[in-house]
Amino acid sequence: MKLRALVPLVTYPDPHTQAAAVNATTAAGLLGADMHALALEADIPPVSNAFSRMLMNLPEMIRNAEKLSADNGAKLLAAAKVEAETRSLTMTTSVERTQVALLGEAAARHARYFDTAIVGWNADNPSIRASAESVVFGSGRPTILLPDQAPPSSFGRVSIAWDGTRVAARAVSDARFILERATEITVVTVTDEKPIQEVDAGERLADGLRRAGLKVAFSAARAEDCPIAETLQRHAAELGSGLLIMGGYGHSRFRDFVLGGATEGVLSDLRMPVLLSH
């Protein structure tokens, strides 16, 4: 069955960069996936109240904002299309126009019809962060986050962050389409960050994956005084991994996301491609 990936592209108020669109297309190519690029455009409802009457040019301001959003979307889709043609990828596109506060929910809803979502990431961009968090926690699909400054190069070597929890197990299951294509897999357990019920949890997972026919090793890491997210990403990079697979810990509270420490750390300081699964 052909893998299908959604690439949601934020266009307003703080749009994705064209580099993010290119990186996501590159990632789809590395996965051998057909790609659908979705431009999330702003639909700003008219305001009819005393304040709008004071600002006589408010309708024009709304039109200009919506035009800017549409122009950004067209540029992002064009950049993705050029990269897709270079890589001979099958790519389709669509546009979703909705209220700015609902753009992330729209992205999550669309992602449910694909095998995975690929999202360009910039921790300093609140629009992108809100959209990505909605996809991670609301789509029911694994989400690959790509930092703008580190284009993906290969998913042949991957690392799995493993602590034996339900969320980590879900991530391994959701990442099977990547694990089956990988040439080298390393299970990484951080031994001094929190108590782990089973001292041999990492070895058990590695052994189980090997029995499934995959090439898997186990590696223990120590966080010491380093944040767990930094430890995991640094260790994965030292192993030569092009992707880190981990569970996304958190839940939604009225569109605000309460995140676990490792998840918050990755979102605040993404250093490499990371697949998050909730």
Q: Which CATH class is domain 157-277?
A: alpha beta
Parallel, antiparallel, or unpaired for β 34-42 and 143-147?
unpaired
In this prediction, residues 194-220 reach a mean pLDDT of: 89
Q: Which residues contact 159 (CB under 8 A, 6 or more apart)?
A: 185, 186, 187, 188, 219, 232, 235, 236, 239, 241, 243, 244, 245
Residue with tokens 């990492």, as numbered in its chain: 202
Task: Convert 247-275 to b/e letters by CB count within 10 Å (16 or more is b).
Answer: bbbbeeeeeebebbebbbbbbeebbbbbb
Residue 250 pLDDT level (bands cut at 50, 70, 90): low
Report the Cα 151 to chain-centroid distance in Å: 13
The residues spanned by each domain of the chain are 4-147, 157-277
In this prediction, residues 202-210 reach a mean pLDDT of: 96
Residue with tokens 């997210």, as numbered in its chain: 229
pTM here is 0.91
The pLDDT tens digits for 85-101 are 999 999 999 999 999 99
Two tokens, residue 11: 């266009």
Average pLDDT over the chain, rounded to whole? 90
Whether residue 274 contacts residue 243, with contact meaning beta carbons closer than 8 Å, is answered with yes
The pLDDT tens digits for 187-202 are 999 887 666 666 788 9
Whether residue 228 contacts residue 265, with contact meaning beta carbons closer than 8 Å, is answered with yes
The pLDDT tens digits for 146-159 are 998 888 999 999 99
In this prediction, residues 111-117 reach a mean pLDDT of: 98
- Residue 23 is predicted with a pLDDT of 97
The reply to whether 4-147 and 157-277 are identical in fold is yes
Report the CATH fold assignment for 4-147.
Rossmann fold (3.40.50)
Whether residue 140 contacts residue 29, with contact meaning beta carbons closer than 8 Å, is answered with no
